[in-house]
Amino acid sequence: MKTFSIVGAGRLGTALGAALARRGWLAGAIVDRDARAARESRRIIGRGRASTSYAAAAKAGGTVIIAVPDDAVGGAAAALARAPGSWAGRTVVHTSGLLPAGVLAPLAARGAWVASLHPVQSFSRKDIPPSIFAGITWGLEGDAAAFEEAEAIVRALRGNILLLSAMNKAVYHAACTLASNALVALEWTAANVLGKAGVPEEDAPGMLGPLVQGTLQNVKSSGLEKALTGPVARGDVATVRKHLAALEGDPAAREVYAVLGKQVLRLAERRGLPQGRVRALRRLLEGR
């Protein structure tokens, strides 16, 4: 039976621990500097021992998953490396999308096999259903010796692996951030614009949600180019001009519209939008 410990009792660490426990993995230690957070995560995971000591994860054996914020990964690795016991041949992974496995150097120096293993998914709460991991991609980078255990985690959760190099971690993570965090900011911007039409902010998600879900489904089923719709994709200069005029009183929203409109235009051009329409829309979106 596979054994794991979690360092970092946040949303990702807890959700990952719970999902692995439900797939038959044995939970060792759930470690967090906040004792209350560790106990809460242990309750959600259903197994293991809550602790505030890094030594508990070192003692528990098996794979250690470091799921702390990026600026805390190096400190966690150093603390684990100082804990008594042998690390030789053990696998330690961190879940940062940005940092390479090299940040775990103190553990590697003690004989551990290290890797970064990042899920391309967002986690809004600790008790999110384990099904959230099904079918997602995991960015994997680090020691080849650590890959077997990392791949076992991904297989257990029915995911897919994308092999990365350390030099590509930042651009990979930037893409994930644009797809997820920037989408939330975009929907917030749209909600603010709807407010000017009298729609309360709390009603905006319910109104825009089906539109966003439909768009994402179209992207999944038809691909990016075929999923593109709207006035820029159609080359509708008059509609875009009216949109920009309507947003004059909200410079931030207008800037978002123009910047993203130019990206939409690039995709529409690639899809075959006539060059005359492309030039007219580009001049309009650039404010010329």
H or E segment to which residue 200 belongs? none
| Alpha carbon distance 69, 111 (integer Å) | 24
pLDDT averaged over every residue in the chain: 97
Residue spans of beta strands (DSSP E) within 53-167: 63-66, 91-94, 113-119, 137-142, 160-163
Is the pLDDT at 128 greater than 80? The verdict is: yes
| CB neighbour class for 266 (10 Å; exposed up to 12, middle 13-18, buried from 19) | middle
Pairing outcome for strands 137-142 and 49-51 = unpaired
- Cβ–Cβ under 8 Å, residues 38 and 66: no
| CB neighbour class for 179 (10 Å; exposed up to 12, middle 13-18, buried from 19) | exposed
pLDDT (mean) for 181-208: 96
**pLDDT by residue (tens digit) across 232-272?**
999 999 999 999 999 999 999 999 999 999 999 999 999 99
Q: Record the tokens describing residue 219, joined without a space.
A: 């992207």
Q: Is the dihedral of CA 202, 203, 204, 210 positive or negative?
A: positive
| Alpha carbon distance 89, 271 (integer Å) | 51
pLDDT computed for residue 226 by the predictor: 94
| DSSP type of residue 167 | G
pTM of the model: 0.91
pLDDT computed for residue 42 by the predictor: 98
pLDDT computed for residue 242 by the predictor: 97
pLDDT computed for residue 170 by the predictor: 97
Model confidence at 288, in pLDDT bands (50, 70, 90)?
confident
**pLDDT by residue (tens digit) across 74-107?**
999 999 999 998 999 999 999 999 999 999 999 9
pLDDT (mean) for 212-229: 95
pLDDT (mean) for 160-167: 98
| Alpha carbon distance 287, 173 (integer Å) | 32
pLDDT computed for residue 1 by the predictor: 81
| Alpha carbon distance 234, 225 (integer Å) | 13
Q: Which residues pair with 285 in a beta bridge?
A: none
Q: Is the dihedral of CA 197, 203, 205, 209 positive or negative?
A: negative
| Alpha carbon distance 221, 126 (integer Å) | 30
Q: Which CATH class is domain 3-164?
A: alpha beta
Model confidence at 124, in pLDDT bands (50, 70, 90)?
very high
- Taking 3-state DSSP, the helix, strand and coil percentages for the chain, each rounded to the nearest 5, stand at 60, 15, 25
pLDDT computed for residue 119 by the predictor: 98
Domain boundaries, the chain: 3-164, 171-285
Is the pLDDT at 144 greater than 80? The verdict is: yes
Domains 3-164 and 171-285 belong to one CATH topology: no
Percent of the chain with pLDDT over 90: 98
Model confidence at 209, in pLDDT bands (50, 70, 90)?
very high
Q: Which CATH class is domain 171-285?
A: mainly alpha
